[in-house]
Amino acid sequence: MTKIGFIGLGIMGRPMALNLIKAGYDLTVYDIITEKMEELIKAGAHRGSSGKDVASRSEVVITMLPNSPHVREAVLGPNGILEGALPGTILIDMSSIAPLASQEIAAKVREKGIAMLDAPVSGGEPKAVAGTLAVMVGGPEETFERVKGILLAMGSSVTRVGEIGSGNVTKLANQIIVALNIAAMSEAMVLATKAGVSPEKVFQAIRGGLAGSTVLEAKVPLVLKGNFKPGFRIELHTKDLANALDTAHELGVPVPLSSVAMEIMQALKTDGKGGDDHGGIIQFYEQLAKVQVRG
């Protein structure tokens, strides 16, 4: 049985780790907030005391952390993964971080004989719980094939898109599309509501046409209930868009709509709504139009 270490047990990491336990893997877990480990321990995981400890007990180590600095610290910092991992260990970073950071970390761990994949995910908490995430993988094909079964325990779609860093490039593309879809949905639903047309009936009327989308299906029902409990927080989407803008600027790629979406999210963060689900983008439009979209 493959021994897996899992570091980072937040909104996404916790259900992903639970699905690995359900799939029968021998799992050792660690989070700097120790209380987050308790549910996993009760479910059958082993308790880790640090990244170094987890790595020393694992053949495959998975990280699911907020951003590039957190991954660097967990992998390369004191008591980190690199200190405990043996040659031949596979590191799978499933965080959403800057592609360049993935490449830099991979180069460091490669010096110790550790292979790395960047494998960010899409689908938010509901798909993490269901084990139906979309996983976008960058790294050596041979390494990918060795761990594909592990990734399929957490996702229904697992695709290698290229070499290290390309998984996070794909995730940035995904996050641009999701942000702009939510913004478009928000504009449309606020317009309908302000015009006196039921947003719920508008949703039913358009969902089967060209305007229909996964975003529409996932977010409109929550918006109609006024439910902005985070599946994916605005502040985290802002982080992803910041990485997207930085990467685009480095490459000389214009992304004007992404810049607008970023400013909308920044305004919501300033207004104290950074912890809301990214479907809460609609609140920006509601405030401007002085109308509330509810069923």
DSSP string, 233-279: BHHHHHHHHHHHHHHHHHHT---HHHHHHHHHHHHHHHTT-TTSBGG
Q: Which of 36, 52, 148, 171 is catalytic?
A: 171
288 vs 130: CA distance, rounded Å: 36
Place of tokens 């909104």: 11
| Summary mean pLDDT of the chain | 96
Diameter over CA atoms, the chain = 64
Segment 120-135 shows an average pLDDT of 94
Mean pLDDT (whole number) for 113-134: 95
Residue spans in the chain of domains classed CATH 3.40.50.720: 3-164
Above pLDDT 90, what percent of the chain? 96
- Find the Cα–Cα–Cα–Cα dihedral 97, 103, 105, 111, rounded to 10°: 160
Coil, strand or helix at 7:
strand
Superfamily name with CATH number, domain 169-289: N-(1-d-carboxylethyl)-l-norvaline Dehydrogenase; domain 2 (1.10.1040.10)
- Annotated active-site residue 269? The verdict is no
DSSP state at residue 86: P
What pTM, to 2 d.p., does this model score? 0.91
Model pLDDT for residues 15-69, shown as the tens digit of each residue: 999 999 999 999 999 999 999 999 999 999 999 999 999 999 999 999 999 999 9
Topology classification of domain 3-164: Rossmann fold (3.40.50)
Mean pLDDT of 126-150: 97
- Region of residue 64 (left: phi > 0; alpha: psi -120 to 50; beta: else): beta
Residue ranges of the chain assigned to CATH 1.10.1040.10 = 169-289
* pLDDT attached to residue 174: 94
pLDDT band at 295 (very low <50, low <70, confident <90, very high): low
Q: Is 295 helix (H, G, I), strand (E, B) or coil?
A: coil
Asked if residue 123 lies in contact with residue 132, where contact means CB atoms within 8 angstroms, the answer is yes
287-295 contacts: CB < 8 A, separation 24 or more? Answer: 289/190, 289/191, 289/193, 289/194, 291/190, 291/193, 291/194, 292/193, 292/226, 293/189, 293/190, 293/193, 293/199, 293/223, 293/224, 294/199, 294/224, 294/225, 294/226, 295/199, 295/200, 295/224, 295/225
Which residue would you say has higher pLDDT here, 294 or 2? 2
pLDDT at site 294: 82
Residue 1 has a pLDDT of 66
* pLDDT tens per residue across span 63-87: 999 999 999 999 999 999 999 999 9
What pLDDT, in 10s, does the model give residues 147-193?
Answer: 999 999 999 999 999 999 999 999 999 999 999 999 999 999 999 99
